[in-house]
Amino acid sequence: MIGHGFMGAAHSQGWRVAPRFFDLPLDPTMALLVGRDASAAAAAAERWGWQESADDWRAVIERDDIDLIDIVTPGDSHAEIAIAALAAGKHVLCEKPLANTVEEAVAMADAAATAAERGIAAMVGFTYRRVPAVTYARDLVAEGRLGEIRQVRAAYLQDWLSDAEAPLTWRLDKDRAGSGALGDIGAHAVDMAQFITGLSLESVSGVMETLVAERPRMASSVGLSGTASSERGPVTVDDLALFTGRFESGALGSFEASRFATGRKNALRIEIAGSLGALSFDLEAMNELQFFDATAPAELQGFTRIIVTEPGHPYTGSWWPAGHMLGYEHGFSHQVKDLVDAIAGGTQPTPSFADGLQVQRVLDAVERSSDSGSAWTPVGS
Ligand code: SOE
């Protein structure tokens, strides 16, 4: 695993726990953790259960005893590491968004396609696809329970920047993060909408805004944010992105990505309306899926609150008895399970780098639309 911040902790949990709850066809070993600072990497390896640590990822991908590289660094190093790892014959799991630009994402998708010919797997970490309620929502749509999809409302709402004195983390630096709320959390909303509906966005009209242009520089990092120093610096990414999108089928969607949604901590919400029914999900109540069956007698109609923890629901049968609730970290175990299954079965895991590239094209079209005064902008391919 390369990197050891918040996502490093989450991925470590996935690698550590998945083999204990799922019967995996291969037995992953948490071999080595890489970080730029050797002593910080050693401490993280010790804490999260990796056998060794190192400070040079290039030397690591040359090692014969490493089969898979898990990239949990900021976006500015995804392309270089992933392309080198795939060329060295390693399977790759790469955090979202796939890259900081469409150009980088194209190069990564090309590298993955070439590597796939040699049986090498590449997957991008849109982990929320593997929250059981989200996977189940996708299943209901695929079974036709919603009929024709007509409208999607998706929002990813956080509030950790509402405080104008919250310091400048790497997530507020365009060179490192690529974009702000749009790429960091809007990417999840886009992927989730496309995943559940099975439909791709074809064009978008958007507006993006940096609401607080200057913040204290970081003294030290704590969680997503950190402590402030007395020096100030510019915020170079968007704080808030709003856009509408047209799907390939003609369905319309509205999207919000905000780190200024005061009171909303991690509300990834989606509501999908179809000719036969509707679905509603909120990550802040992640074990629940609301389903409306428009084919039921009118007198009985209403949103049903499904607790998605039954043994027959996706992934849940391997955990606790029904109703015993799963959390944020379980998606990372599900990601490991699906990736290891794909590698053992000789198939390509999803979401693929091509899927990650398509999301990147949507993000890029939103930025171009915002720059052009919200003109409708094709996503392209
Ligand atoms: C921060 O906004 C963040 O950690 C994102 O980077 C993750 O992708 C999201 O899952 C939770 O919020």
User: Domain residue spans in the chain?
Assistant: 6-128, 131-351+359-371
Chain position carrying tokens 């898979």:
68
Tell me how far the alpha carbon of residue 182 lies from the centroid of ligand 1, in angstroms.
Answer: 11
- Pairing mode, if any, of strands 122-125 and 91-95? parallel
Looking at the predicted structure, is the pLDDT value of residue 222 above 80?
no
Q: What is the mean pLDDT of residues 261-273?
A: 98
Which atom of ligand 1 is nearest the CA belonging to 184? 6
pLDDT of amino acid 220: 83
Work out the pLDDT band at 226, boundaries 50, 70, 90. Answer: confident
Q: Which of these, 150, 245, 265, lies nearest to 189 by C-alpha position? A: 245
* Ligand 1 atom with least separation from CA of 259: 2
pLDDT tens for 174-193 read: 999 999 999 999 999 999 99
Tokens encoding 143:
């079974």
Alpha carbon of 184 to ligand 1 centroid (Å) = 6
For residue 150, the model assigns a pLDDT of: 97
Q: Give CATH superfamily name and number for 6-128.
A: NAD(P)-binding Rossmann-like Domain (3.40.50.720)
Q: At residue 98, does pLDDT exceed 90?
A: yes
Helix (H, G, I), strand (E, B) or coil at 170: helix
Tell the residue nearest (CA) to atom 6 of ligand 1: 184
Which ligand 1 atom minimizes the distance to the CA of 96? 8
Q: What's the topology of domain 131-351+359-371?
A: Dihydrodipicolinate Reductase; domain 2 (3.30.360)
Is 90 exceeded by the pLDDT of residue 378? yes
Please state the length of the chain: 381
Q: Under a CB-based contact definition with an 8 Å cutoff, are residues 160 and 166 in contact?
A: yes
